[in-house]
Amino acid sequence: MTTPSQAPIIRLQGVEKWYGNFQVLTDINLDVRAGERIVICGPSGSGKSTMIRCINRLEAIQKGQITVDGTDLTGDSKAIDTIRKEVGMVFQQFNLFPHLTIVENCMLAPMRSRGLSKAEAQERAMHYLTRVRIPDQAHKYPSQLSGGQQQRVAIARALCMAPKIMLFDEPTSALDPEMVKEVLDTMIGLAEDGMTMLCVTHEMGFARSVADRVIFMADGKIIEQGPPAAFFDNPQHPKTQQFLGQIL
């Protein structure tokens, strides 16, 4: 594993967000160093998805500041375009384009927003499909693949944009149990290559072996965080203890 450098690539300062009258995020402060691997966990509805969606500006915030790779996300739409290219995201639902083949799914964004030629995009797509170990599925359509294979395509598709940061929002939650490992193995490979990763997941084995830091959220706040061993073996906050008691 590479050693994470010290410069924060993501910085959230005093972030507050409301949906109407409902405050979903309260005073979120978080620095992520380049190369750091973070697992975010917490009860359903605690604001995990909202927080990571704010990091690639799928959601706007009402107060505070988010900086990603030196770009202030509260800035103009050009800043947002810049960030979207640098931050890849993988969702619980794979969100592949059903009418495009696997390789076409991977070629679209690099051609549209990175200016790659068709040949370059295809070469890059095949490179990452090989990396997630499904080059042989390239000319099929998403519906012809298993859930685990589709999720690996979603990861390859994000990687084709050459992002500096990868966000995962419960990437294995919609999968049949026998397919969870193949997706986690792909994520472990990425971590070993030094990718900066924020993963919302309740896969605690993954968190223990891969995370540099585990963050626990409840009621829209970061309640507790620490290295996995300390977090799992000696949680401090009663809400963390209660949560871990339910899932472990």
What spatial distance separates the first Cα and last Cα of the chain, rounded to whole Å?
A: 27
* CB of residue 167 to Mg ion, shortest distance in Å: 12
Residue 182 contacts residue 172 (beta carbons within 8 Å): no
Residue type, position 198, single letter: L
* CB of residue 47 to ligand ADP, shortest distance in Å: 4
- What is the x/- site pattern for ligand ADP, positions 50-89, by CB under 6 A? x---------------------------------------
Residue 87 contacts residue 164 (beta carbons within 8 Å): yes
171 belongs to the binding site for ligand ADP (CB under 6 A):
no
54-59: which pairs have CB atoms within 8 A and are 24 or more residues apart? Answer: 54/12, 54/15, 54/17, 54/25, 55/10, 55/12, 55/87, 55/165, 55/167, 55/198, 56/83, 56/84, 56/87, 56/89, 56/167, 57/83, 57/84, 58/89, 59/17
Residues 23-42 that bind ligand ADP (CB under 6 A): 24, 42
Which segment (42-50, 144-152, 158-166, 232-240) binds Mg ion by CB under 5 A? 42-50
Alpha helix segments (H runs only) across 5-72:
48-55
* CB of residue 169 to Mg ion, shortest distance in Å: 6
Binding Mg ion (rule: CB under 5 A), the pick from 25, 28, 46, 49 is 49
48 belongs to the binding site for ligand ADP (CB under 6 A):
yes
Which segment (46-54, 74-82, 142-150, 238-246) binds Mg ion by CB under 5 A? 46-54
Residue 45 touches which member of ligand ADP, Mg ion, none, C-beta under 5-8 Å by kind: ligand ADP
Q: Which residues bind to ligand ADP, rule: CB under 6 A?
A: 19, 24, 42, 44-50
